[in-house]
Amino acid sequence: MSPEYRKNPEAVSRLSPEQYRVTQEGGTEPAFDNPYWDNKEPGIYVDVVSGEPLFASVNKFDSGTGWPSFTKPIEPRNVVEVRDSTLGMVRTEVRSAHGDSHLGHVFDDGPVEAGGLRYCMNSASLRFIRLDDLEREGYGEYRRLFEHSDGGRQR
């Protein structure tokens, strides 16, 4: 039986002001001044509010933007894309499907060999779970992502 992910009011109440601003109000954290933009450890990233699995280090790359960037989600059903026309431009917002957290935006300027997408996420909306902690944290099924890789280290 797979876990049921949902917006957890208790988790929302524990968010830092920055996490709340980003996830609940659609804010953006500063580039190069966030915990995961340069994280190269193997593991997965989950929604800070619902815990739903979103991205893996095996799909993370250095986009040069100062935010964590991924070529694809590990569970496409956990990611919702929404048209965003704020700030005078049309973009595609990325939200968590079950937690309804604002995560960031997706752009079509990612690595061509990996599909061409760049999921540009806010660290404030993510919780990182190290490869060695996957089982203990209840995400053991995602260890398979790292079995035939370089350990999940960022390229």
Whichever domain contains 77, its CATH number is: 2.170.150.20
pLDDT of residue 154: 45
pLDDT of residue 130: 98
Closest alpha carbon to 48 in 83, 98, 107: 98
In a domain, 150, yes or no: no
120 annotated active-site? yes
pLDDT tens-digit map of 34-73: 999 999 999 999 999 999 999 999 999 999 999 999 999 9
Which range marks the domain in which residue 75 is found? Answer: 9-143
- Separation CA 111–CA 82 (nearest Å): 22
- Of the candidates 120, 131, 134, 145, the residue annotated as catalytic is 120
Q: How many domains does the chain have?
A: 1
- Separation CA 45–CA 83 (nearest Å): 23
Least confident among 3-7, 48-52, 93-97: 3-7
Residues in the chain: 155
In a domain, 155, yes or no: no
In a domain, 2, yes or no: no
Q: For the chain, what is the total number of helices (H) and then of strands (E)?
A: 2, 9
- pTM summary value: 0.91
pLDDT tens-digit map of 115-150: 999 999 999 999 999 999 999 999 999 999 998 755
- CB-neighbour burial class of residue 96 (10 A; exposed 0-12, middle 13-18, buried 19+): buried
- Phi and psi for 120 in degrees, rounded to 5? -95, 105
In a domain, 95, yes or no: yes
In a domain, 1, yes or no: no
In a domain, 151, yes or no: no
